[in-house]
Structure 1
Amino acid sequence: MAFSSLCSLRRTVLSAALLLTLSGAAQADSRSEAALEARIAQLEQQLADLKTAVEAQKKATAAAPAAAPAGPAAPGVKAPIQVTTLTPGANPGTTVKIGGFMKTDFMLTRTDSGQLADSASGRDLYVPGQTPVGGSGSSTDYDAGAKFSRVNIGIDTVTENNDKLGAFVEFDFFGGALGNENATNTYGVTLRHAYAYWNKWLAGQTWSTFMDTAALPDAVDFIGPTDGVIFVRQPQVRYTTGNFQIALEDPQTTIIPRGGGATASSDRGALPDLAARYTWKGTWGHFGVGGLLRDLRVDRPAAGTTPAIEDSQFGGALTLGGKWNLGEKNDIRYQLTGGSISRYIGLGVTADSVLDSNNDLEAIDGWAGYVAWRHIFTKQLRSNVMYARSEYDNPVAYTGQGVTKSSQSFRVNLIYSPLPKLDVGVEYMVGRRELESGAEGDIDRLQFMAKYSF
């Protein structure tokens, strides 16, 4: 009996323990399930928040302007100079370029038939028409200056419609002495270029379309082959399409008085100079042909016993030239020009016209040219040899014998670039000017330079 009671009690206790165990397990499973559901809900909220953030980032990226690519641009694509404009008032996408160079010249000059005046521009650069003729030999003169240094600013814009527009302005310091060489050596600022452009049009002051700037030799002198090169900057309206250019340019007529004397200028008439040029380009270099039509004109009222003068004369000229590459280390640059060219050649070696016995204009034609060879010894050292000449068909019955018949020069230089954009050079030049009378004058110049471009 006792044993049976004991067994019954043990069964009761075991049953109670089993029920308690099953109940605890059930309660534990319920708590785990609740925690898991809470965790799942939290993860779903985080995923929703992340999705919202990604969508917002996509919208912001689409609305923002494209950033400049890192590293080099793709082949054929010009990398932007600036990501943001330096000119807040300009169109979007406008870039600014500042350039130029600082150049100092040191010259030793000797002439055999007279002396260049102290204030003559021929003391600073080679001006063929100023070579003295008919005097006695001069001693050697030393000149130095930094007035041919220049600074320029370029503004360029490309619109959303791919229209291209911009402007360019450049100055040097060859504007005449404002001080003296005793103390300050101060010189005035000179406007060289000032123009605006939009797509195929250009308006403003720059090189004449008749001129081939890409064929200019590498010289220590300001110009180089001055006797035979077209060298004119003037206001114009120009249209360019492909390799063809045409422009209406500022007219001017230079006149020798009847019997000779100082050249005068006439700025009369309603017709601008018409200049056109076509250029062929390739790996071999380039070749260009240019044409020029001019209305030479004088219109002066009577003054005292001097009668009124009014007349016009048609003038025209042709030019050809370019650059011919001879491998990687040599090139030939050349130009040949003929016709009514006087004002356009050599800083005005002679005049465009002369007044005849009836006070009518008589045009003065001529021809001019140069050839230059450049050789590159190393990446740092190069040399140039050049010869230039011009001759003029003066009607001596009206001009007299004292006008320039021909001018020529020969020069050789050596230019060393120890660092990028830094040039030091030396150049020797000998020039000769001949008058219609047969009188001649020579000039010799040894010139050194130091130049840093930026």
Structure 2
Amino acid sequence: MLLSATILSASPAWAQNNDVDARLDRLEALVSGLIERMDAKDQASASDVATAEQARQAISETRALAERTSAVEGKIAEQAAVTQKEDANGFNVGKTRVTYGGYVKLDVITERTSGGQVPSNSIARDFLIPGAIPVGGEASGFDTDFSARQTRFFLKTETDVGDDHKIGSHIELDFMVTDGGNERVSNSFAPRVRQAYITFDNWLFGQTWSTFQDVSALPEAMDFIGPTPGTVFDRQPMIRYTNGGLQIALEQPETTITTPTGARIVAGDDSLPDMVVRYNHTGDFGHLTAAAIGRVLRVNEDDFGLINDSSIGYGISLSGKLNIGERDDFRFMATAGEGLGRYIGLNIVNDAAVRADGSLSPIATYSGFAAYRHFWTEKWRSTISGSYFKADNPVLLTTGLVTDESWNVFGNLVYSPVAPLDIGIEYMYAKRQTEDGASGNLQKIQMSAKYKF
């Protein structure tokens, strides 16, 4: 009776407390106090003591049940959160899951060139193209352009085909380097295919970043690319096989040639694909990548008269991203080879030059970049970067008008008031010099706002 009365008297206060653990702690304390008082009194019956012990055991079992229930509820809530996140940017069509993403970006660019004027509406005013920096002319003033052309959108699919197979696709569009409206009225630009590929288990079929390029090593930049003179940069159709860190790919061949007048020829006579072998090593430190490429450069006399030859191109590239401290990182790339012209810095020089007898002389190139990113706070960060390109042109075959070297440096400050939004400002200085000694530089201030979704 004493036990029943005590529990009943405590029940109103217990019911008013919404925290299960707190209520169990309080009830357990009450029962323990009862047992102590009954032990101290000779008149306490054995049945009362037994009942109190049973109550304490029931409380212990209830607590264990509450803990298991809480764990289950936590897992359900976690799964619901994941499902909600997936549903936020995707939907199902039969057995196919469709997801989407991308970003909207506004760029405001003010730039000046020392060696000549870059024409209005030229893509060379949208982002750095090292081979297009004017040389030998009169300096321009500072020209300002607003652009939203870098905005991009992608769709991904994954279809449940059973039998432990995985099949998916990726389609990505943006509006860079395409024809369209003008700055006077519409600023309308046609969309273009950036990436379009199929994945099936370990295989990829379609257009994406060249396996020779380590995209994840590129530093954060307001410019479309950033360390352009020193980086491998190419998207093209391919067939790629991946097994762990190893990748092997057969990719689109295309030979670019410099004629004795300095003109560029895109032969289109290639018959064998470019072959790339790459290995990625990842860990808590970041990642390291080594890639090698082999190419057959080819041009046929049925298109260009006396020019009829093929030659071997090859190269290696080492790159990576190294974590420094909790959030900072260091990124780098170093590339060297012969006949790599179209892969480096947006085709700064060509793959080969034409000898007097019509044979091809592959052009050697050396390039690289380094970049350091530092987080000042959770919302503020900066990147500084420098890159360099050097070509070993056979000047007697190419004339002195081709690019000998190019380099750039840039630094930026980025503010992210909320995770999906970046607002930044960047200063860049770039220079190009030709084999005859003519040079020109570019100075650019760029402000950007980007919303990722």
Would you say the 8 A contact 1:295–1:314 is kept in 2? yes
Pick which of 263-272 and 146-155 moved more. Answer: 263-272
Corresponding residue for residue 48 of structure 1: none
1:161 aligns with 2:163: yes
Corresponding residue for residue 396 of structure 2: 397
Q: CA deviation at 1:162?
A: 2.5
Pick which of 431-440 and 169-178 moved more. Answer: 169-178
For the residues of structure 1 that align with 2:199 and 2:217, how far apart are their CA atoms?
23
Corresponding residue for residue 412 of structure 1: 411
Corresponding residue for residue 201 of structure 1: 203
RMSD: 2.1
Runs of 4+ in 1 over 2 A off after TM superposition: 77-83, 85-88, 157-162, 306-309
For the residues of structure 1 that align with 2:183 and 2:327, how far apart are their CA atoms?
42
Among 60, 69, 78, which residue is 1:72 paired with? Answer: 78
What TM-score do the two structures reach when normalised by structure 1? 0.80
Q: Residue deviations 1:208-260, cap 9 Å, x none?
A: 00110111101110001000011100000000001000000000011111132
1:318 aligns with 2:323: no
Q: How does 1:152-231 map to 2 (within 5 A)?
A: 152-231=154-233
For the residues of structure 2 that align with 1:97 and 1:423, how far apart are their CA atoms?
23
Would you say the 8 A contact 1:103–1:146 is kept in 2? yes
Aligned partner of 1:416: which letter? Answer: Y
Aligned partner of 1:150: which letter? Answer: R
Corresponding residue for residue 296 of structure 2: 295
Structure 1 unaligned regions, length at least 5: 1-68
For the residues of structure 1 that align with 2:442 and 2:290, how far apart are their CA atoms?
32
For the residues of structure 2 that align with 1:79 and 1:291, how far apart are their CA atoms?
42
Corresponding residue for residue 420 of structure 2: 421
Would you say the 8 A contact 2:123–2:177 is kept in 1? no
For the residues of structure 2 that align with 1:225 and 1:179, how far apart are their CA atoms?
29
For the residues of structure 1 that align with 2:87 and 2:178, how far apart are their CA atoms?
37
Aligned partner of 1:297: which letter? Answer: R
Q: How does 1:102-181 map to 2 (within 5 A)?
A: 102-181=104-183
Corresponding residue for residue 374 of structure 2: 375
Among 247, 253, 261, which residue is 2:255 paired with? Answer: 253
Q: How does 1:332-351 map to 2 (within 5 A)?
A: 332-340=330-338, 341-351=340-350
Q: How does 1:269-288 map to 2 (within 5 A)?
A: 269-288=270-289
Would you say the 8 A contact 2:319–2:334 is kept in 1? yes
For the residues of structure 2 that align with 1:284 and 1:180, how far apart are their CA atoms?
47
Would you say the 8 A contact 2:131–2:349 is kept in 1? yes
Q: CA deviation at 1:82?
A: 5.0
Would you say the 8 A contact 1:409–1:429 is kept in 2? yes
SS in 1 for 2:179: coil
Corresponding residue for residue 45 of structure 1: none
Q: CA deviation at 1:295?
A: 0.5
Q: CA deviation at 1:96?
A: 1.3
Q: Residue deviations 1:399-438, cap 9 Å, x none?
A: 0111100000000000100112100000000001011111
More helix by percentage: 2
Would you say the 8 A contact 1:81–1:95 is kept in 2? no
Aligned partner of 1:189: which letter? Answer: P
For the residues of structure 2 that align with 1:307 and 1:385, how far apart are their CA atoms?
48
Larger Rg: 1
Q: CA deviation at 1:87?
A: 4.7
Q: CA deviation at 1:159?
A: 3.8
Q: Residue deviations 1:118-141, cap 9 Å, x none?
A: 242110000000001000111111
